[in-house]
């Protein structure tokens, strides 16, 4: 199945123009099997997302895109998170202490929000986002090289804030994922692969030699 693992809803991500209903409808149209709401430094949508997921019978997972002192990290499976910026390693340790998983978001995007070379210093990341729908192909390619070097799970995400970006990239999960526990288990088991949406369906990307699809522009 395909899940978009990094998405922003307008209630708690003030730079988003998307409601949860719109995200679900557009995601279903593209063939997503689930979505992840990862708002900026907030998990405020969690309860509503859980209720709406049951109402529409569609998996919705709530994580967080946390802006550490070194860059953005997406995390799932946590109940508490810092209300102020702390070092990336401290945040990763906090996630692990709660039994969660985390990945580096757009580590080489040119906006000073990625971990960049800090990828080589921090310990405990479960994966790296190597396809991001709002990041250049060059930056994604560099992230793929680091994922291979560090032997971390590779993910694809839209990082959507507007309707046209919903589901443009996603992550392939080899098994069905319906609950948060299944999501966490899938991260730990591995086998996840980045994918992009083109001509009405998702295409899984092979990352041999750090390659990303040539179609990818921005």
pLDDT at 77 exceeding the cut of 50: yes
User: Is 7 contained in some domain?
Assistant: yes
The Cα 145–Cα 207 span in angstroms is 8
User: Is 215 contained in some domain?
Assistant: no
Q: Are strands 193-198 and 127-132 parallel, antiparallel or unpaired?
A: unpaired
Q: What is the per-residue pLDDT for 207?
A: 53
CATH code where residue 21 lies: 3.20.20.140
User: Is 217 contained in some domain?
Assistant: no
Q: What is the per-residue pLDDT for 218?
A: 37
Tokens of 162: 């507007």
Q: How far apart are the first and last CA of the chain?
A: 24
pLDDT classification of 187: cutoffs 50, 70, 90: very high
User: Is 216 contained in some domain?
Assistant: no
Contact 95, 116 (CB under 8 A): no
pTM: predicted TM-score of the whole model, two decimal places: 0.94
Q: What is the per-residue pLDDT for 217?
A: 38
User: Is 213 contained in some domain?
Assistant: no
Give the model confidence (pLDDT) of 146-158 as tens digits.
999 999 999 999 9
The Cα 213–Cα 208 span in angstroms is 11
pLDDT at 210 exceeding the cut of 80: no
pLDDT at 121 exceeding the cut of 70: yes
Q: How far is CA 203 from CA 34, 150, 162, 194, 213, in A?
A: 16, 24, 22, 9, 10
Average pLDDT in the chain: 94
For residue 55, give its domain range.
Answer: 2-207
What percent of the chain is predicted at pLDDT more than 70? 94
Domain count, the chain: 1
């Amino acid at each position: 199945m395909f899940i978009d693992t990094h998405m922003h809803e307008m209630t708690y991500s003030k730079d988003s123009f998307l409601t949860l209903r719109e995200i679900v409808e557009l995601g279903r149209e593209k063939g997503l099997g689930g979505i992840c709401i990862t708002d900026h430094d907030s998990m405020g949508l969690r309860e509503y997302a859980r209720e709406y997921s049951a109402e529409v019978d569609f998996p919705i997972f709530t994580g967080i895109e946390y802006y550490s002192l070194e860059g953005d990290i997406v995390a799932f499976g946590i109940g508490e998170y810092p209300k102020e910026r702390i070092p990336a390693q401290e945040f990763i340790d906090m996630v692990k202490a709660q039994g969660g998983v985390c990945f580096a978001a757009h580590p080489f995007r040119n906006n000073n929000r990625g971990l960049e070379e800090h990828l080589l210093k921090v310990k405990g990341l479960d994966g790296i986002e190597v396809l991001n729908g709002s990041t250049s192909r060059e930056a994604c390619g560099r992230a793929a090289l680091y994922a291979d070097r560090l032997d971390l799970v590779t993910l694809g995400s839209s990082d959507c804030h507007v309707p046209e970006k919903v589901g443009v990239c996603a992550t392939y999960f080899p098994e069905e994922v319906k609950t948060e526990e299944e999501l966490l288990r899938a991260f730990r088991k591995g086998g996840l692969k980045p994918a992009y949406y083109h001509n009405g369906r998702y295409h899984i990307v092979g990352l041999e030699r750090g390659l990303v699809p040539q179609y990818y522009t921005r």
